[in-house]
Structure 1
Amino acid sequence: MSTSPATDAAVDPALAARLPELRELYTALQARDLRLDLTRGKPSAEQLDLSEPLLALPGEGVHTAGGTDVRNYGGLDGLPELREIFAELLGVPTAQLLAQDNASLRLMWDTLVQALLFGVPGGEGPWSQQGPITFVCPVPGYDRHFAICEELGIRMVTVPMTPDGPDAEAVAALVAHDPSVKGLWVVPTYANPDGAVVSEAVARRLASMPAAAPDFRILWDNAYAVHHLTEHATKTANAIELAAQAGNPDRVVMFASTSKITFAGAGVSFLASSPANIAWFKEHLSFRSIGPDKVNQLRHALFFGDAAGVRAHMDAHRQILAPKFSAVTRILAERLGDAGVATWTDPQGGYFVSVDVVPGTAARVVQLAKEAGIALTPAGATFPYGQDPADRNIRLAPSMPPLAEVEAAMDGVATCILLAAAELAQSASR
């Protein structure tokens, strides 16, 4: 992750002098009657078309894999052929990887619900019977992680993200003496929304740090492990291996999926962890499922062939996505330059650009954009409970619209950022 130069905490009072000019620009923007959307990181139709051959697979008469008839019940672990492909990509043993149905979010939900109801290996019983529990949430972060915790009544405390991942010392201080702190959310590769990549040193610290809770877990949401925006394929730190080396083999539970690889609503999800955690998860999974959709897993295995096939497929995604992300950072630089009203990330992968505007103006920027026909993720969405204390962070998702729409939207967003800052400067000068 790289960023633009730092933004001053206070807006330049001289910006107030530009308010009439910026209001004229904004009026012209509204007159364009735009209908643009940068709210969520969805694959575009062009990206989905890359996987169109899946719809013809496995084909009539092709329904056996490894001696298993994929049309029938069973196979709780998932199809071995597909697990082998993604075990290589994720850096885990095939025996420690489950392939399930389309949503990794469901696996995260199931993991937490099972922990609340039954407890986890190495623990002292169900989490729900141990009083209020807490999760550590790096910010800015993924809104659906926060939503799961909020829905389940799990208290959230925040730590800042750095270019190398969560502030490991801040995390360590929280978990060392408080047994109610049961977990930590991490998106290790191209984090949502700032594109940070967890360094080997940070991963090692998180894997080895003392925890007051014997059943402390790191939920390692490796959603963007192969989602590169450059020719450099960033390697994810192997947290499961590091935790085992540190004597905490059950600490890390990894999640991944093909949602942004093939079809977002019809892919395959994965869960990887220690042998004890895998056995624990399967024990409870067996009561709600007799097995995943193995037909879909077979079509994915046939479509990819091997791990190299996945990498080649993701390179085709990169060719579509990279120009859109380049447009975002280029237009922000051209329009905002050294105005001191925003900083933004220049991610090397993933699906988002994180923008920090003048404190106290993020909600206003989103409102201005909405009134100009540009839908943005709500301000505060990247923080627990939807509350950004500084009212500063905005997540941009340029993947779905065509390039021309991304460019139009970003030009409008830049106008809104400048206008909101100028309004604040005028207010402060009174």
Structure 2
Amino acid sequence: MTAMSAYAARSRQELLDEQEEVCRELDRLRDRKLKLNMARGKPGKAQLDLVSEGLMHVFQTPEDYMSDGIDCRNYGELAGLPAARRLFAELLGCRPEQVFAGGNSSLQLMYDTVAKAYTHGLVHSPRPWCREEKVKWLCPVPGYDRHFKITESFGFSMIAVPMTEDGPDMDAVEAAVRDPQVKGMWNVPKYSNPDGIVYSEETVRRLAAMKTAAPDFLLMWDNAYCIHEFEGDFVPFPDILAECAKAGNPDRAIEFVSTSKVTLPGAGVACFAASETMLDHLKKLMGVQVISFDKVNQQRHVLYLKDKAHTLELMRRHAAVLAPKFRCVTDALDRQIAPLEIASWRRPKGGYFVSLNAMPGTARRTLELCAECGVTMTGAGAAFPYGMDPLDSNIRIAPSLPPLEELETAMEVLCACLKRAALEKLLK
């Protein structure tokens, strides 16, 4: 029996010997009093440094504040600078007339969209959603915890839908939307959070064309990682708005994107794109709460990013920073965990996360052990509605923030904790 044989193939005594060795390793790691954070997908300092100087010094003359005859320092242009709308339209593959350029947060725009549906209803809503007896919402899992928090905060009943290699299980989705109380669905269609799955073209078409009992069923299409490859060339993606229009459901989807992981997360530009009918509806509601968003920042991004080709070149520079970090994660798991057969994981080519499935019943314990060793990670269950992973298995790894040397140490901790949690489970 070799030291790296699968745990399931070992005798109880061999597992006890292994546990003793792993405990010694964890004691050594705890003694280092680490303070490492892999809780969220934040860009690291090297990525921020790529952008900061160029972005913050684009204004050289008073004329730089002018865009299409608009002084971006003043009030007006609720839907954003036309130049910013054109830039986002080029990135998303839709038309500028379908784009609303806002402030720095796409999450804020998503929350605001759900809030407006709740208080006023959407284009095809028989009534505001607050007057419905019950609102249900589809949540592909594992998924993005902040999405789930939005719909949970409005009291929606969230329904988990399993992910497949091609995106959400469409048979389950198409069965669920026969219920008129099912009003919408979260989607991260490219490099999904956290699995890194890219929706297939067939999945996108089925989502656009499926028959729904609710006339105002909404696809919340968070295309957060639409240009975020860190391995290989840019991968084109279908225009969901065009697909919905082609299927006879032009108002079904609202697409969201931001420059949070392109330029600066706290000072980027976010937008949503929708049919012109839906855009007009939302503009009327938004016009009550805001005169205009930060057009100076929009102009800063237009001058800095220029166009799609120039933006993709910047993303290749981000990829040069990110790719070694993701390799660090998967190499450590391949080397230390794969032979033991106590977890499985995906190898994404873009996005910001690695999704790991530990031995069922051990994710929470693994992360408790990590915290004891000074490594902070996203809480167990976060990728599921209400924070409840039925298998207690999924762990989201966010490699982007720590420098590579710290990430190597963090992975040493995670692998040791995975082993300890699995051994505890097997030796019960």
TM-score range, shorter chain: over 0.9
* Structure 2 segments unaligned to the other structure (5+ residues): 1-5
Contact 2:330 2:347 in 1 (8 A): yes
1:23 corresponds in structure 2 to: 23
1:383 aligns with 2:377: no
* Separation in 2, partners of 1:400, 1:301: 26
Contact 2:338 2:344 in 1 (8 A): no
1:50 corresponds in structure 2 to: 50
Contact 1:12 1:340 in 2 (8 A): no
Structure 1 residues 11, 86: closer, same or farther in 2, change over 3 A? Answer: farther
Amino acid at match of 2:181: S
2:71 corresponds in structure 1 to: 69
- 1:216-255, aligned counterparts within 5 Å? 216-255=217-256
Q: Give the secondary-structure state (helix, strand or coil) at the position aligned to 2:43.
A: coil
- What is the deviation of 1:13? 6.2
* Separation in 2, partners of 1:103, 1:280: 21
Q: Spell out, residue by residue over 1:184-235, the C-alpha distance to the aligned partner (whole angstroms, 9 max, x if none).
A: 0000010110101111000111111110001000000000001111122122
Structure 1 residues 248, 315: closer, same or farther in 2, change over 3 A? Answer: same
* Separation in 2, partners of 1:239, 1:290: 29
* Separation in 2, partners of 1:13, 1:277: 60
Comparing both chains, which one has the higher relative contact order based on Cα–Cα distances under 8 Å and sequence gaps of 6 or more?
A: 1
Contact 1:193 1:352 in 2 (8 A): yes
TM-score, normalising length: structure 2:
0.95
- What is the deviation of 1:405? 0.7
- What is the deviation of 1:247? 0.7
* Separation in 2, partners of 1:251, 1:16: 54
1:185 aligns with 2:178: no
- 1:121-270, aligned counterparts within 5 Å? 121-176=123-178, 178-270=179-271
* Structure 1 segments unaligned to the other structure (5+ residues): 1-7
- What is the deviation of 1:411? 1.3
Q: Spell out, residue by residue over 1:288-347, the C-alpha distance to the aligned partner (whole angstroms, 9 max, x if none).
A: 111111111111111111111111111110010010001000000000122110011111
TM-score, normalising length: structure 1:
0.95
* Separation in 1, partners of 2:396, 2:187: 17
- What is the deviation of 1:28? 1.6
Q: Give the secondary-structure state (helix, strand or coil) at the position aligned to 2:256.
A: strand
Contact 1:138 1:161 in 2 (8 A): yes
Contact 2:322 2:400 in 1 (8 A): yes
Structure 1 residues 11, 79: closer, same or farther in 2, change over 3 A? Answer: farther
* Separation in 2, partners of 1:389, 1:217: 27
- What is the deviation of 1:51? 1.4
- What is the deviation of 1:60? 4.1
Structure 1 residues 141, 13: closer, same or farther in 2, change over 3 A? Answer: farther
Q: Figure out how many residues of one structure are paired with residues of the other and give that number.
A: 418
* Separation in 1, partners of 2:397, 2:181: 34
Contact 2:90 2:307 in 1 (8 A): no
Identity rate, percent = 45
Q: Give the secondary-structure state (helix, strand or coil) at the position aligned to 2:382.
A: coil
Contact 2:120 2:129 in 1 (8 A): yes
- What is the deviation of 1:131? 1.2
Q: Give the secondary-structure state (helix, strand or coil) at the position aligned to 1:388.
A: coil
* Runs of 4+ with >3 A deviation: 10-15
